[in-house]
Amino acid sequence: LPLENDLAIKNIAQLVTCEPGLSDSCDDDADRIGLIDDACVLISQGVITWVGRQQEFEKRGLPAAETIDATGLVALPGLVDAHTHTVFAGTREREYEMRVGGATYMEIAAAGGGINATVRDVRAASVGDLVRAGSRRVRSMLRRGTTTVEIKSGYGLSLEAEIKMLKAIRRVGEETGVDVVATFMGAHDIPPEYRDHRERYIDLVVDEMIPAVSEQGLAEFCDVFCEEGVFTAEESRRILHCAKDCGLKPKIHADEFTDSGGARVAAEVRAVSAGHLAHATREGLEAMREAGTVAVLLPGVSIGLAKPVFADARGMLDLGLDVAIATDFNPGSSMVDSLLIVSSLACSFMKMMPGEVILAATTNAARAVGRQDEIGSIAPDKKADVVLFDVPDFRYIPYHLGGDIVRMVIKNGSMVFDNAQDCL
Ligand SMILES: [Zn+2]
């Protein structure tokens, strides 16, 4: 233990550590989420040094320079949004209106909507435009408890525009203080100019984009949209193998609208995570479990697409898969930046239990971005990312849909949001 701690968060009514070993409760539910009642967390230089009961903290007389009194509050690890497209230009509310009115995908595309609209806007935007818009969105996520966010490129779809997006993604992290995990997603769609020779676009991704992104150190992961009408299983396999050879870790958008073999590709390339999975086969999911691929479920898409289709979260949990939840924040299919709202959707529509959704937005989400050793739980040696909620019980968090319940956000041991200071 260091001689001096910078900060003690004291008198926490319920501390959800998300570390099963840290709970001293004999209740199974409490144990799974590592619940400690009347707890204290000590922090030194942005890192957690000690976690335990308030009584124990007082008995030992542990020193701390500053204290936060969390009487009546519930503490969770900083939330990890493991799948987003948060950096984009332009919005598509007209398309949403058309969809609510019953328009088909083809009608929306014919009216100039769909992903091509965002590609057009991103190509026309400067890095500065993208950084400003992206930072504003990420600050809004931070106020809702998200302290780490994965952001994908994939609206540039040319070497130059993809690099521009990735530079903007990096700067959003620098400007907001939120940890940003960058993912290259040149294989988000075939751009209009390559419609009639798709294989040439895939060559461009493999031969030029991936090597350039890797050389410039602009991304940690590479993602592919494996879906009927986008990239086939075979094409996805090729792109992700190439990414691995260049040192980018594989991720995949799999089986969102149909079973396109995406879950199996995820397992074959040992993807760190696979997103969507609403139509994945049992065989594919079992292969993912064996490969250690995290299933990232995105129920916000059902709101954006105005279609109540959800992944089989219970089936996946029963199979023993690691399940994470994320916003998939993007202007087309999921205009939701709050993991808290997504946690409510996960409970009500995918029948995940409140304790399960908390693990899905913290430890399992950290695993989905390969950061499980640094973040995702409140335990010694982890980053001091802590969210304090003004709620009576952890189960209240998904229960109060869209509620203004975040009291404070602590990032790397510093308070970055205080709702009491912020209020009118
Ligand atoms: Zn996505």
Alpha carbon of 19 to ligand 1 centroid (Å): 28
Mean pLDDT of 327-337: 97
187, 223 contact by CB (below 8 A) = yes
Alpha carbon of 50 to ligand 1 centroid (Å): 37
> To the nearest whole percent, how much of the chain has pLDDT over 70?
99
Cβ neighbours of residue 391 under 8 Å, at least 6 residues apart? 73, 74, 397, 400, 405
Closest to 383 in 3D by CA, of 96, 80, 26: 80
Confidence check: pLDDT of 72 > 90: yes
The 10s digit of each residue's pLDDT in 201-220 is 999 999 999 999 999 999 99
Length, in residues, of the chain: 424
Tracing tokens 């400067």 back to the chain, one arrives at: 126
Alpha carbon of 253 to ligand 1 centroid (Å): 6
Mean pLDDT of 367-388: 98
The 10s digit of each residue's pLDDT in 224-237 is 999 998 999 999 99
**What is the per-residue pLDDT for 109?**
83
Alpha carbon of 68 to ligand 1 centroid (Å): 37
Confidence check: pLDDT of 68 > 70: yes
Confidence check: pLDDT of 3 > 90: no
Confidence check: pLDDT of 147 > 90: yes
Closest to 356 in 3D by CA, of 18, 94, 36, 3: 18
Give me the amino acid identity at 348.
Answer: S
Cβ neighbours of residue 197 under 8 Å, at least 6 residues apart? none
Alpha carbon of 83 to ligand 1 centroid (Å): 6
Strands 5-16 and 74-77: parallel
Alpha carbon of 298 to ligand 1 centroid (Å): 8
CB atoms within 10 A of CB 91: 15
Write phi, then psi, for 404 (nearest 5 degrees). Answer: -85, 75
Over its C-alpha atoms, the chain yields an Rg (Å, rounded) of: 21
Confidence check: pLDDT of 125 > 70: yes
Mean pLDDT of 156-166: 98
Alpha carbon of 70 to ligand 1 centroid (Å): 36
Closest to 146 in 3D by CA, of 185, 183, 173, 182: 173
What six digits make up the tokens of 101? 């009115």
Alpha carbon of 85 to ligand 1 centroid (Å): 6
298, 328 contact by CB (below 8 A) = yes
Q: How far is CA 49 from CA 6, 62, 165, 334, in A?
A: 10, 11, 37, 38
The 10s digit of each residue's pLDDT in 86-108 is 999 999 999 999 999 999 878 88
DSSP 18: S
